[in-house]
Amino acid sequence: MATFLYIFPHPDDECFGPVPGMVRQRREGHDVHLLTLTRGEATAQRKRLGLTKAEMAQTRSQEMQDVATTLDLNSLTVLEYPDGRLAEMNPLGLEAEVAEHLHATAPDVVVTYPVHGISGHPDHLVTHAVVKRVACALRRDGAASPRRLAFYTLPPAPDDAERPSHLQHSPPALIDCTVPVRDADRDTGREALYCYETYRPVIDDHQPLAAVGDHLSYELFGEDHAPPLSSLLEGLPDDSTAPPLAPSSQAPDSA
């Protein structure tokens, strides 16, 4: 069995797309951990609800606990960095927190956002940079974990599909893994998504799991797979003799 660690900046990031994969991994008996850097208190939804930032943070933290129960996560850690202000934080502090969590969970696979953050939110971009730097530093220093760094992403939308204009996708040449989604896993993921009662209008309006389609897509840092792998565990090295995480020396064909 393998260990997965998902790292995102906000409550609900894990449910706005990658959640069916988390459901599948737990169904298959793998350990799945979730680290969230903020409590999501700066969301505009708090004004609709008439909540202070402190009240919103408390409410969303409880919603995350409900998500963790629904998904049967092995652990949930919610840090208290300021929502919407990660770019103002000392990155060394963020890196130290992430590194500590990687040491504690020893994941085989770490999953976070790609360089464009999907939505382009500054907190998403900072999280990508911090996690990538920590993972690379650990492997440079000889750590056996993580063995793979995966960036959950969206593929280009089908011609007949509508997608919110602010969402960005990765080009097909950069997508190294496409994991099939079962209907039952999507249903459990939707159940977890609806734990976020404070976000119900946004969820109902955008239906984020509809953008996933029938596969989850990932970029794999420092790897180049064509055709894409069908599992985040496919092709993992067996031990710490794996080469350091680094960009592939062979650039993908631009055609």
Mean model confidence pLDDT for the chain: 91
CA distance 105 to 74: 10
* N residues, the chain: 255
Instruction: List pLDDT tens digits, range 33-58.
Output: 999 999 999 998 999 999 999 999 99
Q: Is 70 helix (H, G, I), strand (E, B) or coil?
A: helix
In this prediction, residue 40 carries a pLDDT of 95
Burial 102-128 (b: 16+ CB within 10 A, else e): beebebbbbbbbbbbbbbebebbbbbb
pLDDT digit string, tens, across residues 181-233: 999 999 999 999 999 999 999 999 888 888 778 999 999 999 999 999 999 99
DSSP string, 132-147: HHHHHHHHHTT----S
Q: Look at residue 254 in the predicted model and tell me its pLDDT.
A: 34
Q: At a CB cut-off of 8 Å and minimum separation 6, what does 243 contact?
A: 222
Domains and CATH numbers, the chain: 3-157+169-220 (3.40.50.10320)
Mean pLDDT of 143-169: 88
Write the DSSP symbol of residue 231: S
Interhelix angle 53-71/183-193, rounded to 10 degrees, is: 150
